Amino acid sequence: MSDIENSLDPDPPIWAIFGDLMTGMVGVFVLLLVWALGFQLELSQSLKQEVAKREAEQQRRQALEQALAAPLAQGRITFEQGRIGISGSVLFALNSDELQDDGRALLESLIAPLQLYLNENQQMLMVSGFTDALPIQQGNLNFSDNWELSAQRALTVTRTLIEAGMPANLVFAAAFGDQQPVATNDDSEGRARNRRVEMAPVPRTNAEAGAG
């Protein structure tokens, strides 16, 4: 009787156990494959976003350079790494914050292309004043040092832009004194290059971008 029972209820065949094992391994492999494909897709999307971001930045710079083509060709301004540079001698006399007529005309000619660029790219304009390293001449009662002179020049340019039509919420002033020279201060040519005003587009805050 026991022989009959054994014949009716045999042990599971080895191939069935092996099949279950292989099914489990295939399932794990599929899960790993899905994870790998998802990670690869996410990485590809991140790379595409980064490339698009860099291309957009490059396009913004090219658009600004095109808008400033005329004054660039005339040598009245420089444009490097997204910054517009204007020589201090074009805008101001030595140790003065009073804007010269040629400098005022130049600033007014830049307002329209700058404002268009800033609005299209949700940016605002930082106006920065710089000086050479020579101390303020004795007898000049208007400024105590180069920091004060650079600040007042930046404010003069900022106010001029606003008075000529630039929205006040799109421009602000900053002062750097003699702390960021672009040339040596050991000769007159280098000092003339360091006496400058720069204008650089910078991102707006969320509130400012929404208001624009």
pLDDT tens series, the chain, 212 aa: 555 555 555 555 665 565 666 677 777 777 888 888 887 888 778 888 888 878 877 777 777 777 788 888 888 888 888 899 998 888 998 888 999 999 999 999 899 889 988 988 889 999 999 999 998 876 566 888 999 999 999 999 999 999 999 999 999 999 999 999 999 999 999 998 999 999 999 998 765 555 54
Q: CB-side exposure of 174: number of CA atoms within 13 Å?
A: 13
How many CB atoms within 10 Å of residue 108?
A: 15
Architecture of domain 68-211: 2-Layer Sandwich (3.30)
CB 199 within 8 A of CB 154: no
pTM reported for the whole predicted model? 0.69
35 three-state secondary structure = helix
Going from N- to C-terminal start, the domains of the chain cover 12-57, 68-211
CB 111 within 8 A of CB 165: yes
pLDDT of residue 40: 80
DSSP state of 181: -
Would you state the structure tokens that stand for residue 3, as one six-digit string? 């022989």
CA–CA dist 88, 53 (Å, integer): 34
pLDDT of residue 123: 93
